[in-house]
Amino acid sequence: MSIKIGIAGVGAIGSALARTLTSEKGIDNYVLDCISDPDAKAYFNVPNVDFDTLMTRCDLVVECLPAHIVPILAKTAFLSNTDIIFITAAAWLLYPQIADNYKNSQSRVYIPSGALCGLDGVRAIKELGITSAKIASTKPPLGFKGAPYIIENDIDLTDIKEKILLFEGNALEASKGFPANVNVAATLSLAGIGAENTRVEIWADPQAISNAHEITIKSEYSTLVSKIENMPDPMNPKSSILAAQSIVATLRNMSSAIVMT
């Protein structure tokens, strides 16, 4: 029997997932049952419902929303014990009530790798005891436009002529200064040793044409260095195309006889 999926938010990421689910190839064992997006720009031949109905109809909900809406969806999912995939990992750092509301829920929570790579190694190294975790993100300067840290420090992004370190701190501090850029740091924190112990460097590089993320994880026995460069999603330059595919890959893995982790 197919597992019924509901997608909350069908912008760049949600609509890419919906297209895959409704394509001829589809995803084995999963069917798109409904979406929830009052401003949906695409039509997928399924009902567009509110969050409560999403939980009643679906076995698994996929969150693809702006961060500030995520706590509302999360609370609805947790109260109804609905399983949920979160692509906006940053919301777990920005809104601590999500973790509080989760405490008494039976919902299974999945957090895909999103724009990041190397989390398989992070999980294994965690078993050995991670001694340090760092993520360095590099983007073109205008990728940080509107970030509170940029505004508060009166940084003129158009004046950056060579690669510079804009910010250094832990993932919690990064989530406050760069809330729109912190999904990867949040994902690494959740997979690894938490936001307060995860160091974040944010670099602006006028020569960069992609968004790059390099993680360095150390333990007594292993050192992991993993770097990915992502082109922006044409539908939303703040997201990368890879993020949607990490959800597709998660679903394919969950339904596969041979599970790669």
Ligand X SMILES: NC(=O)c1ccc[n+]([C@@H]2O[C@H](COP(=O)([O-])OP(=O)(O)OC[C@H]3O[C@@H](n4cnc5c(N)ncnc54)[C@H](O)[C@@H]3O)[C@@H](O)[C@H]2O)c1
Q: For ligand X, give the closer residue by CB, 107 or 240.
A: 240
For the bound state, the minimum distance from the C-beta of residue 2 to ligand X, rounded and expressed in Å, comes to 23
Across the beta sheet with 109-110, the strand order is 30-36, 3-8, 60-63, 83-86, 109-110
Alpha-carbon distance of 125 to 161, in angstroms, equals 38
For the bound state, the minimum distance from the C-beta of residue 187 to ligand X, rounded and expressed in Å, comes to 6
Q: Which of 118, 187, 213, 250 is catalytic?
A: 213
For the bound state, the minimum distance from the C-beta of residue 51 to ligand X, rounded and expressed in Å, comes to 7
The distance between the two most distant Cα atoms of the chain, rounded to a whole number of Å, is: 57
For the bound state, the minimum distance from the C-beta of residue 239 to ligand X, rounded and expressed in Å, comes to 3
Interface contacts to ligand X, rule CB under 6 A: 8-14, 36-39, 64-67, 69, 87-89, 114-116, 183-184, 187, 236, 239-240, 243
Q: For ligand X, give the closer residue by CB, 52 or 220.
A: 52
Instruction: Kindly state the tokens that stand for 65.
Output: 């929303």
Alpha-carbon distance of 10 to 14, in angstroms, equals 4
Q: Which residues neighbour 19 within 8 Å (Cβ) at sequence distance 6 or greater?
A: 44
Q: For ligand X, give the closer residue by CB, 2 or 102.
A: 102
Whether 213 is catalytic = yes
Query: To which residue do tokens 């006889």 refer?
Result: 257
Q: For ligand X, give the closer residue by CB, 13 or 46.
A: 13
Q: Which residues are catalytic?
A: 213
